Structure 1
Amino acid sequence: MTKYSSELKVQIASDYPYGRDTYNGLSKKYNIAASIIRTWVKAAELNGLEILKVKRTKREYSVDFKLLY
């Protein structure tokens, strides 16, 4: 599980470019370091908001599967 949800990352990254807030303002609002928010915004600017969404989930394997491999 990731520390921050995909929805939160997308929301924050989409709020910044429209001039609604600064990195420091968003940092105080969401209680997240400004450097992390800056990383999310830059990633979204370069690759789109889809890049912030979690692509994998934790897999669970059965005992039988674990014994075979």
Structure 2
Amino acid sequence: MSKFNLELRIKVVTEYLSGKGSPSLAKKYRISNHAIILGWVHRFERRGIEGLKDRSLSQEYSSQFKVDVLNWRKRNQASLPV
């Protein structure tokens, strides 16, 4: 579950686009870092409301893609980032 729901993200982005600064919005909505808001704005500008939806729920990978990634890691002796 996302810490910030879609409704709040839309509200914050709308206020930002109407001229309010990201630091003041971060303080108003208790968002720890104003860069989070800038990221939402960027995603909104690129993909609209879809860009503000929780990405963890929308990303699904096929079994073949997962196998390809594992094979690539093995071939390249790559490890997962910590």
Asked if these proteins are the same fold (TM beyond 0.5), I'd say yes
Flag the structure with higher helix content. 2
Identical-residue share of aligned pairs (%): 36
**Paired positions, count:** 56
After superposition, what is the alpha-carbon deviation per residue over 1:16-61, rounded to whole angstroms, capped at 9, x for unaligned? 1111x1011101111101010110011111111232124749xxxx
Q: Gaps (5+ residues) in structure 2?
A: 59-82
Instruction: Give me the whole-angstrom Cα distance separating, in 1, the residues matched to 2:42 and 2:51.
Output: 11
Instruction: Give me the whole-angstrom Cα distance separating, in 2, the residues matched to 1:52 and 1:26.
Output: 17
Instruction: Give me the whole-angstrom Cα distance separating, in 2, the residues matched to 1:50 and 1:27.
Output: 22
The question of 1:47 aligning with 2:47 is answered yes
Please tell me the residue identity of whatever aligns with 2:29: Y
Q: Which runs of 4+ in 1 moved over 3 A?
A: 54-57
Q: Give the TM-score of the pair, scaled to structure 2.
A: 0.60
Q: Give the TM-score of the pair, scaled to structure 1.
A: 0.69
